[in-house]
Structure formats: C-alpha cells, structure tokens
Amino acid sequence: MSREEKMRDLMARLASMSPEPPPFPEETPMARHQEPRRARPALVFAGAAALVIALAVPLLIFTGNGEPEVIATTTTTSTIPTTSTTASVTTTTTDATATTAVVLPTWSRPVFLYQAPVSSFVGNPALVPVWIEVSPVDPDVEFTEALAAVDDDLPDGLENAIPSDVEILGLRFEDGVWIADMNEAFLAGAGGLLADMTMLNQLIYTLIYPLPDAEVLFTVDGQPVETFGSEGLMLTEPVGRDEFLDQAHVINLSEPIVETDDGWIVRGRANVFEATLALNVLDGSGVVTHEEFVTASCGTGCWGEFEVTLDPDLIVPGESSIQLFQHSAQDGSAVDVITVPVPAGGVWSVTLGN
Amino acid sequence: MITATGVMDNESVYRNYSEELTRYATGLVGPFDAPDVVTDACLKAFEGRSWPEVVDRRAYLYRTVLTVAHDHHRRTLSRRMREMKSASPDQIPDPTASIDLEVLDAVVLLSVQQRAAVFLTYWEDLSPDAVAARMGVSVGAVKRHLARARKRLGEILS
C-alpha cells in the first residue's frame, strides 16, 4: 500500500468513528462559555509592579560580537525590553515599587528591512538585514518603535513594511518559540497580501535572529491570531523563517553585511537558476569595481545558502554597494537584482524621538 | 425550510450539513468531542452578525468548525486517549462506538490545521485549491500542512 493509500485508509478509519450529529442547537450548550478577556500585558505588568511580583524574564542581550547571551533576571517592569547591543547592562531599583528594571543604554541590533523589486511584475520584496543603532538612551523603547522610527531615516533603497502603529507589547521565548504579543493594529496587516507577508517576514526574521530554527507565535491579547491582514491569514501556529519565504525575493540576505578579520561577509539565501548568482561591488558612482559568481547550496526550485567573503580592499564603507542578481536563462541579462549599500562603520544610526 | 427571500433557515442548514460537519470535527478533535465542537461552531455561526450575508454557508461552517476545534484545548484528544487506555471497558463513555485507538494515536501527532488539511484532502478528496478555500488559508499553507503531516506520520506510513 502506497503512502497516499495509507493516508486515505487512515482518514477512512477516522471518519468511520464519527458519531451521530448532535441535535439542532437551540439552547446554549455548556461548552459555549467565554473566557474572560485577558488584560493587556502592559496593564498586567503595571499591576504587577504594585504587587511586586517577581517574574523571571529572560532577556536576550546581544553582546558586541553578535552572539546572544540569555540573562535570566528578576524584573517587574512596564516594558519587556527586547534586544540590545550594549557593553554593559545596568540594573536600577525604584523606591516606590521596589522593583528592578534592566536599562538598555542603547538599542542596537540587526533589523530586517526590505528592498522593493525593480518591477512588481517580475519579483517580490527582498529581505535585507541591516545593523541599526537607535539613540538616545530610552529604556522604554520597543524594537517596533525603533522600526517605525527608521522610516524617516532608512538606508538607501531599503523600506519598512511594518506600519508605525504596530507594537510588540510583550515578548518571551519558550521552547524555541518567540511568543510576540502584538497590539490590535497588527491585525490589520500592512495593506495588501504581499505587504502583509513582507511585514511578517520582516518581523519573523528580525525576532528569530540569530537563531535560524526558532519560530514566532503572534498573539493579540494573549490569544493566537486567527485572522491577519487583508486576506485573513491564520497565524494560530508558530511560524518560522520558511513560512512566507516564497513570497519574498529569490535572493535575500540572512545577515547584515559586516567586516571581519577575513574580509566583508555577504551571507544569504537564494532560489535561483542552477543555484548560481552573480555579485558585483559598486563604487559610490555606481561603477562596477569587482564581480564574481557565487554558488548557493541549492537552486532551481529550492532555497540554498550562500556566503561570500570579499577582500577588505574592495569595499569603501559608506560609499560601496553590493549588488546581487542572477543571469536570465533566456538572454543572459541581469535579473532579480538587489543592491545593498554598505554603511560607514557597518551600522546605521537612527535617532529616536522627534 | 426556505424563507421568502430564498434563504434556508438555520435548522435546515444544520440538517443539511450537520452530518458532514460532525465527520469533519471527528477528523479534527476525535469522536468524543466532535458533537460539542459542531454544536458550538453552529451556534457561533448562527449568532454571528455576518451570518445573514454569508453566501457559501457550507464553507463558512467548515471554517467555523476549524476555528472552534482549534480553540479546543490542544491536549484534549491526548488526554482522552490516556483516559481511554487506562479505563476499564465499562468506563468507556460509549462502549458501542467503534474506537480505533491506532488511528487516534496517529491523529494526536498532528496539529489541528494539519488534521484539517489531511482530512479534507484524503477523505473529502478535495483539491489543494478547494481545501484552501474550505480552511480559509492559502494553497501554499495547505501544501505545507500536508507536507508536515506526512513527515510527522512518517513511521506510521512507511
């Protein structure tokens, strides 16, 4: 018996167990009770501060080399800080509540933005992570606030699909899943199916970074999201980095372009013809100063990883750009092009609060 | 009964679809809780403000059953299975029902959405497009659910 036949057999046996239908429901059954609506996490935390409830909130703190360090700390703050790159973490105590809060002097981490395709008829938005540093110091900063703030100060060619009123109210990590409690504005999506999926890709990739196998469960008021965006996407289960990847570009970056001792690292995932893509380095005037071919681990219908190390002399931070594309199987022309600027110092600085 | 406007009343809708909805709910939550899920889903649909405007009531009820099934505590079926296995025959709620524990053991491995995709594909014989419409998700999501279900059922199917 083939696998398909076994599936049919399994379902036939399951269907044969079906009981008699219940009578027409004229009265409200016992099962139809509503659970009390959960208070918003922010309010829960505010109340918790008064009650001095000790909560162990794991905070994912990014150290200088980008490696995550999970710090378990006792805190009752009105905010759940998300991520930060700081040399040190300061702990403060407030007299009124006798609670401790982790103050994050600078908010800094990789954030996934997107680059629109040259033509919406021939491609989808490409995911491009950039290392963003947000200042001034603000312990209440949530990273979606920071994402909203970068709208006015985005790197060239990059855009943000996350609406400015979308916020993460709470964030915790359980068994490989980030549980992100969103505000109600999240449910409206970004305006259109493709924008919705781009927004989700940005959030998923930003949240799980740097753990590629982690997943995200989006909740609103603590409940999994049953209807999201313009098409009513069901998000009741955790979603990983592959969930909406087919709605992204065929070439995406999975790491910000950074300089190491070996050179500049360009790392990403692609689903291109014969797993072959081309890489150009452009100078500040857009002139090609270097070109090479890159092979991904898979292609022509499957997603493969690729990584290139470029000689440090090839890049002038703040001026150079990296261009990735594939050659058309029909006429050899450059198609599916993305162009990512290399920021001075490797980090885009964004000023919050205007 | 058909009203003057040509719309079936709720009781007629229920009579038409309750049997297949119960079968569908059985695929999602098992035979023990299927009637409760169907009752709850139908009430939820009938009392909904948008119900009078719903064109495809059958599809709408299927989606509501899926939603209610998902709200059902995820571990309910697992718990029921444990109870069944530890209970003596006279303690089983409906001893006349033919309960296939092997099948339910397999179903427990799947999420509710995976169960829905598998049931609609392999029992109802619906195409991925039709399954997507019935579940209210994209075709890609249906294919992912099916692929994951096959993976989880790997040992049983091999």
What is the complex's ipTM, to 2 decimals?
0.77
Nearest residue, CB atoms, A22 vs list B39, B99, B141? B39
pLDDT of residue A92: 32
**Exposure letters A94-112 (e unless 16+ CB within 10 A, then b):** eeebebbbbbbbbbbbbbb
Share of chain B above pLDDT 70, in %: 74
Q: Give the gap in angstroms from C-alpha A40 to the nearest C-alpha of chain B.
A: 20
Enumerate the residues of chain A whose CB falls inside 8 A of the CB of residue B135.
234
Chain A residue with Cα closest to B21: A21
Is the peptide bond preceding residue A136 cis, with omega within 30 degrees of 0?
yes
Enumerate the residues of chain A whose CB falls inside 8 A of the CB of residue B31.
17-19
In whole angstroms, what separates CA A238 from the centre of its chain? 13
Digit-by-digit pLDDT tens for chain A (354 residues) are 777 888 888 888 888 888 888 888 865 443 333 333 333 333 333 333 322 222 222 233 333 333 333 333 222 222 223 333 333 333 333 333 333 333 334 556 788 999 988 766 667 999 999 887 765 444 455 555 556 555 556 777 888 888 877 888 888 888 889 999 998 889 999 888 888 999 999 999 998 988 888 899 999 999 999 889 888 889 999 999 999 998 899 999 998 998 888 889 999 999 998 899 999 999 988 899 999 999 999 988 889 999 999 998 899 988 899 999 999 888 888 999 999 998 877 677 665 443
Chain B residue with Cα closest to A224: B71
User: Contact A250/A326 with Cβ under 8 angstroms?
Assistant: yes
Instruction: Enter the DSSP assignment of A297.
Output: S
Pair of tokens at residue A252: 């995406």
Chain B residue with Cα closest to A4: B122
Q: Which residue has the tokens 């989880």?
A: B152
Kindly state the greatest CA–CA separation across chain B: 55
Q: Give the gap in angstroms from C-alpha A6 to the nearest C-alpha of chain B.
A: 6
Pair of tokens at residue B29: 């939550």
**Highest mean pLDDT pick, A195-204, B2-11, B69-78, B113-122:** A195-204
Q: Give the gap in angstroms from C-alpha B78 to the nearest C-alpha of chain A.
A: 15
Chain B residue with Cα closest to A225: B67
pLDDT of residue A299: 85
Residues in chain A: 354
Asked if the Cβ–Cβ distance from B113 to A10 is below 8 Å, we say no
pLDDT of residue A14: 85
Enumerate the residues of chain B whose CB falls inside 8 A of the CB of residue A31.
36, 39-40
- At A169, the amino acid letter reads L
pLDDT of residue A200: 95
Give the whole-angstrom CA distance, residue A206 versus residue A127: 10
Pair of tokens at residue B80: 């029921």
pLDDT of residue A320: 92
Instruction: Enter the DSSP assignment of B31.
Output: T
Q: Give the gap in angstroms from C-alpha B26 to the nearest C-alpha of chain A.
A: 6
Give the whole-angstrom CA distance, residue A295 versus residue A270: 10
Q: Give the gap in angstroms from C-alpha A208 to the nearest C-alpha of chain B.
A: 20
Asked if the Cβ–Cβ distance from B136 to A11 is below 8 Å, we say no
Instruction: Enter the DSSP assignment of B94.
Output: -
pLDDT of residue A225: 93
Give the whole-angstrom CA distance, residue A279 versus residue A298: 17
Q: Give the gap in angstroms from C-alpha B85 to the nearest C-alpha of chain A.
A: 17
Q: Chain B interface, mutation test: which of A24, A217, A239, most B Cβ atoms within 10 Å?
A: A24
Among candidates A97, A101, A94, which has minimal Cα distance to A59? A101
- At A325, the amino acid letter reads F
Q: Chain B interface, mutation test: which of A2, A14, A223, A227, most B Cβ atoms within 10 Å?
A: A14
At a CB cut-off of 8 Å and minimum separation 6, what does A291 contact? A278, A279, A280, A281
Q: Which residue has the tokens 């009430």?
A: B43
Enumerate the residues of chain A whose CB falls inside 8 A of the CB of residue B93.
none
pLDDT of residue A84: 38
Nearest residue, CB atoms, B26 vs list A18, A25, A31? A18
How deeply is B125 buried, as exposed, middle or buried, from its count of CB atoms within 10 A (0-12, 13-18, 19+)?
A: exposed
Among candidates B78, B59, B79, which has minimal Cα distance to B130? B59
User: Contact A157/A115 with Cβ under 8 angstroms?
Assistant: yes
Asked if the Cβ–Cβ distance from A22 to B70 is below 8 Å, we say no
Give the whole-angstrom CA distance, residue A136 versus residue A105: 8
Asked if the Cβ–Cβ distance from B27 to A13 is below 8 Å, we say no
Asked if the Cβ–Cβ distance from A14 to B100 is below 8 Å, we say yes
Nearest residue, CB atoms, A16 vs list B18, B70, B98? B98
Taking residue B98's Cβ as centre, other Cβ atoms within 10 Å add up to: 9
Nearest residue, CB atoms, A21 vs list B22, B44, B118? B22
